[in-house]
Chains A and B, each alone.
Chain A
Amino acid sequence: MIGLDLGSTAAKMVWIESGEIKFRITPAHNWKELVEGIDGDEIISTGYFRNSVPHRASLTELTAAVYGVRHYFPDAEVIVDIGGQDTKVIDVRNNNFIINDKCSAGTGAFLEFVANYFRIGLEELGPMHLNARRIPDINNTCGVFALSEMISQLVGGYSKEEVIAGMHYAFARRISHMVPEARSIVLIGGTVKNEGMVAALRNILEKEVLIPDEPQIINALGALEYYS
């Protein structure tokens, strides 16, 4: 049996081999390669396109996240899943959830937008943030308007690294409005690999921030665990 998370940007596949979690990740459009030779009856699917792939069972990424996170943090209270197109906050204690899918600020798409503006790879944002000495205030809650603020901070003398750090803080503030009171939160989703964004979130939330080893495969793992 495999867990397959077919999201808007990446496809993640998880299976268990001799008690060990194994996984593969490809860009979403290559998902077919991932499951080549695997019978639909062997697939538990989740993610935005969960119903576009053959499957034995499917579940939403919100439920998958609860099961996947439980594997690493059985006492998790709140899960924040920062995806490519949306951000989901799940309060495991009372089964509540909020999804931001209306505005790009606070989703992976926003960070991609920033990276594109500076003509750098998404993976460079984190290391650049860590080189910032000052953090400019970027207040705009709209992703597109934040860009003009970003430009004015550059014109005003802040370095590229500092403006990127400022954007991460704007991003973190946006997400913090969705997060309920809790001792700790678990961060999942591909965006979590950005250590600058995580640092900003830690600072803004003032909570313990837990991150599983492979934050990107949690939902695929959760799909598998849900079914077994």
Chain B
Amino acid sequence: MNKIGITALVPPELIFACGAAPFDVNNVIPASRKYPGNKLCAWTAIWKEMLIKKEITVDSLIVVAGGDCHNALVDGQKAAMSGIPTHFFFYPFDGDLEYLESQLHRLSGFLGGIRSPEVLKKIQELKKQGQMLDKKRCRGKLSSAEAFRILISFSDLTGDLAGFSRAISALEEKDIDVRNRVALIGVPPIYHDFHEVAQTLGLHIVFDELPYEFIRHGGCDIKEMARDYCGYTFAMPLESRIDFLKKELRKRKVDAVIHYTQFACHHMLEDEVLREKLDYPLLTIQGDLPGNTPQQIKLRLEAFREMLDRL
């Protein structure tokens, strides 16, 4: 089975259906302890370096460029120049269904066409289970760290449907003391222990914005996928994303919001709008290099918790 690197959300069901296994190149980064030489955002810089040095080996690469990240567009081209067959995938900004459908057809063409349509139903089933997990941690029946570990892996379903299904089944229910219900919005933190740290400091993360996108979309054919993935909030205008967030935050009865931003990432520019439009106590943090959650970030989380306790 060909291993296909992806740099952000690309419908993994389509890759599986084309008989290949997706591999989200971001998922190795938080625990990588890599400090890249030439960088803006550490996420793209690290996967680019690891791909070029063949520390991550893939048969080909899909770079999500349009509607997502320009750093990825440039670093993706550098990876392509090293000889990796690379395809650039673009989301429409304006929700143009036909455009997304044509992008999915082009992607399917790059991957050699759909060969195993039967996996599509199976993946839909797994995503339903993902949604159940998400609900469980919201009710305090699952730790946010365990839930996050599974949810973030829905971008590529670890490239192994049977193994991933087993990992989901292995999760055990718990009773978690959920006091400060926090939504984590923005790109995921680059620190591998962030959810554990938040939990020990008394913050229970009941919503992970981006991983939620991973379990929310799907489809049993290209038409359905196009319809579904058109609502991928990170590629849409900010106002639609905020409307969506407002609904989710209300539904999950969150007390506060943490906006994680990444050094040199354009999403930082959204912070002031999010602060203005989301009517919750909001803590903005910024990360740079991978590893453990640094002391400075812990201080902010703890002070934020103390502030919530005072409200």
Contact = CB atoms under 8 A, between A and B. Distances in A.
The yes or no verdict on A and B being binding partners is: yes
Contact of B303 (A48, A60, A101): A60
A99 B306 contact: no
A99 B300 contact: yes
A18 interface: no
A95 B300 CA distance: 12
A59 B201 CA distance: 12
A63 interface: yes
Interface string B278-311: 0001000000000000001001101100110011
A56 B224 CA distance: 59
Contacts of B306: 59-60, 62-63
Nearest to A88: B303
Contacts of B281: 95-96
Contacts, number: 26
Interface residues on A, range: 10 to 19
Interface in A119-155: none
Contacts of B296: 99, 101
Interface string A86-120: 00000000011101010000000000000000000
A95 B311 contact: yes
Interface in B140-174: none
Contacts of A59: 306
B310 A99 contact: no
Contacts of A99: 296, 299-300
B299 A95 contact: no
Contacts of A95: 281, 307, 310-311
B287 to A, nearest CB: 12
A14 B299 CA distance: 22
Contacts of B310: 63, 95
Contacts of A60: 299, 302-303, 306
A101 B303 CA distance: 15
A201 B207 CA distance: 41
Interface string A172-194: 00000000000000000000000
Given A62-B306, A95-B281, 12 more contacts: A59-B306, A60-B306, A63-B303, A63-B306, A63-B310, A95-B307, A95-B310, A97-B300, A97-B307, A99-B296, A99-B300, A101-B296
14 contacts: A48-B299, A60-B299, A60-B303, A60-B306, A62-B299, A62-B303, A62-B307, A63-B303, A63-B307, A63-B310, A95-B310, A95-B311, A99-B296, A101-B296
Interface of A: 48, 59-60, 62-63, 95-97, 99, 101
